[in-house]
Structure 1
Amino acid sequence: MDYRNASNVYKQNQILNATPKKLVIMLYEGAIKNLKLAELSATDKKIEETNNALIKVQNIIQELMSTLDFKNGGEVAENLNQLYDYYMTELIKANRSKDPESIKNIRVPLEELRDTWIEI
């Protein structure tokens, strides 16, 4: 049995059956996971691994931005958009510097944001 394929099928089923809220939480969790990987890679001076992980986070943040509903979300959507835009800028800076502390400064507030979504 190919366990990687089984894992991929499981992940696909999780995504296909998830509520919109759960999908947002899953995106946050993916971003946090990659930020942790980037922190470790940056600490170990693994430049390419750090870059790859931070690019994945940028892609996730872009996906979060694209899901915002400005018509129905009003001020909340606007505030989240500004926050995501700030994270994008900080991710670019962190990717240039490869500084683990800069990466942590993005991860911690994202964890808090994820926790807020979980509580809703």
Structure 2
Amino acid sequence: MVANNAYQVYQNNSVNTASNGELTLMLYNGCMKFIKQAKKDMEADNFAEKNKNIQKAQNIIQELMITLDAKMDISKQILPLYEYMQYQLKEANIHNDTSKLDEVLGFVTEFRDTWKQVIIKNRQQQYNEGASV
């Protein structure tokens, strides 16, 4: 129980001290986790848990959609992909289709990997700017 409480405190601190970029990365990772769990639930005919995990993944995609900066051109390109992912998650849930979960998982993984590279490049830039001062 104490270890579980300590882990919860650590998780809360991680979220509270994360940059916006790190929070986005956490969202992608969470979405991937829920899609993978939904697939396992689907394969085990545990439809109530499958539904819950797909809804969690959908909520994360919705949050990512809401936080897009409409002023950025890239947002206009990303939004339709997020909408498509939402649709595929809904279809996977209705039809118990693991191939649709796999498709969305592929998109989320690509977004996460790209986002991770952006964070790394930004950190390198900040470090280089700090070193030259």
Tell me whether the two structures share a fold, i.e. TM-score over 0.5. yes
- Aligned counterpart, 2:60: 60
Query: Percent same amino acid at aligned positions?
Result: 36
Q: Which has the higher contact order (CA 8 A, sep 6+)?
A: 1
Gapped regions of structure 2 (runs ≥ 5): 119-133
Structure with higher Rg: it is 2
Cα deviation digits, residues 7-42 of structure 1 (max 9, x gap): 111111101111111111100000000000011111
- Aligned counterpart, 2:5: 5
Query: What TM-score, normalized by structure 1, do the two folds share?
Result: 0.93
Query: What TM-score, normalized by structure 2, do the two folds share?
Result: 0.84
- Aligned counterpart, 2:97: 99
- Aligned counterpart, 2:116: 118
- Aligned counterpart, 1:35: 35
- Aligned counterpart, 1:19: 19
- CA distance in 2 between counterparts of 1:66 and 1:47 reads 28
When the two chains are superposed, the root-mean-square deviation of aligned CA atoms in Å is 1.0
Q: Which amino acid aligns with 1:110?
A: V
